[in-house]
A and B are shown apart, each in its own frame.
Chain A
Amino acid sequence: KNEVEQSPQNLTAQEGEFITINCSYSVGISALHWLQQHPGGGIVSLFMLSSGKKKHGRLIATINIQEKHSSLHITASHPRDSAVYICAVSENYGGSQGNLIFGKGTKLSVKP
């Protein structure tokens, strides 16, 4: 079993729809990250969370530490949101926080 599981693997939405991507993890973490990867490979860090909720524009990320679960929401989705969204965790073992454990990603396609 992977330490970081994402669902769904693929998601197709119509422009304007509300989108939710889920992430569950099985290890103790110091932080959870949501990343966005566009075709061509470049990765952008969207959020880093250790508790609660963060909002940036149309993106909202939440985390429930007790349930080991996080969600990424996109409101009023747009075709430019089409990308792969990756959940990653920094494992909490008291050492370096420079290594991440990644989920397999959710490929989002938003149709006009």
Chain B
Amino acid sequence: KAGVTQTPRYLIKTRGQQVTLSCSPISGHRSVSWYQQTPGQGLQFLFEYFSETQRNKGNFPGRFSGRQFSNSRSEMNVSTLELGDSALYLCASSTSGTVTQYFGPGTRLLVL
């Protein structure tokens, strides 16, 4: 089975722009979670989608949003980018009813 894929892998944006990141889960996985990793804060939970519904959300401003499509692929969007949004964004997928998560390689975002 193919693993979790994320696109793009690297991205450079400027302050004020918006960005969309994509995550394709392992086939058959219906849950997709998104995480932000920074040197200062470490790994932090952004949100989780299950069957196209946001099931849980972390403590991030409304500039961070996401969605999930019927094929379980997920996107996250960050509007009005700030310098502090520079981070590695990871998504992870899991099957319904389990908590073992399989992580993608991440998208490294640099905001200038």
Contacts and interface: CB of A to CB of B under 8 A. Distances in A.
B50 A96 contact: yes
Interface in B46-102: 47-48, 50, 55-56, 58, 88, 90, 92, 94, 99-102
A57 interface: no
Nearest to A50: B99
A43 B90 contact: yes
Interface in A78-108: 86, 88, 90, 95-105
Contacts of A51: none
Main SS of the interface on chain A? strand
B106 A102 contact: no
B48 A86 contact: no
Nearest to A101: B45
Given A42-B106, A43-B90, A97 B99 contact: yes
Contacts of A64: none
A11 interface: no
Interface in A30-45: 30-31, 33, 35, 41-45
Q: How large is the interface on B (under 10, 10 to 19, 20 to 34, 35 or more residues)?
A: 20 to 34
Interface of B: 31, 33, 35, 37, 42-45, 47-48, 50, 55-56, 58, 88, 90, 92, 94, 99-103, 105-106, 108
28 contacts: A31-B99, A35-B103, A41-B37, A41-B88, A41-B90, A41-B105, A41-B108, A42-B103, A45-B102, A48-B100, A86-B43, A96-B48, A98-B33, A98-B48, A98-B55, A98-B56, A98-B101, A99-B33, A99-B47, A99-B48, A99-B56, A99-B58, A100-B43, A100-B101, A101-B45, A102-B43, A102-B44, A103-B42
Given A41-B88, A99-B45, 10 more contacts: A41-B105, A42-B103, A43-B103, A44-B103, A45-B103, A95-B56, A98-B99, A99-B33, A99-B58, A102-B44
